[in-house]
Structure 1
Amino acid sequence: MQNVRSLFLALAGITVFAALALFTVSLTLAVGGILTVCMVGRALSTRMKPAPVRAKADRQREMHIWNDGRGTIIDL
């Protein structure tokens, strides 16, 4: 009877350990998946709307304005 009880407790311990290990692995994969989706979304959103770049002329020149028939062009 003592051997059966010891075997049952050992199997119960192994089962609990395996269940906790499986829970930990699944939780790790879930958090990793969520973080991956967030990183991909952030990378795509920054690629779709690039930051504006300020253009500045190296030297001062005069402004040219002309009309090419499709609209007025202002060259600063």
Structure 2
Amino acid sequence: MKNIRSLFLAVVGVAVFAGLALLTVSLTLVFAAILTLFLAVRVLSTRAKPVPVRAKADRSRSMRVWNDGRGTIIDM
């Protein structure tokens, strides 16, 4: 009877240990997935936004404007 009780307690102990290990691994994976999601959202939301380019015409050259059939081109 003593051996059966010891065996039962050992099996219960191993089962509890395995259950807690499984819980720890699953919580770690969930935490990593949430962090990955936050990182992806942050990277996508802070993409470079187009900034207007300030261009000044060179007064020594004349400005050329022509249309190539696909749009007007202005050469400064």
Normalised TM-score (structure 2): 0.64
**Distance change in 2, residues 1:45/1:12 (3 Å):** same
- Deviation per CA, 1:11-59, whole angstroms, max 9, x where unpaired? 0000000000000000000000000000000000111x5385896x8xx
State the 4+ residue runs in structure 1 displaced beyond 6 angstroms.
none
Name the count of aligned residue pairs: 60
Q: Matched residues in 2 for 1:16 and 1:4: separation?
A: 18
Where in structure 2 are there 5+ consecutive unaligned residues?
60-64, 66-76
* Superposition map of 1:1-76 within 5 A: 1-47=1-47, 50=49
| RCO comparison, higher one (Cα < 8 Å, 6+) | 2
Where in structure 1 are there 5+ consecutive unaligned residues?
63-67, 69-76
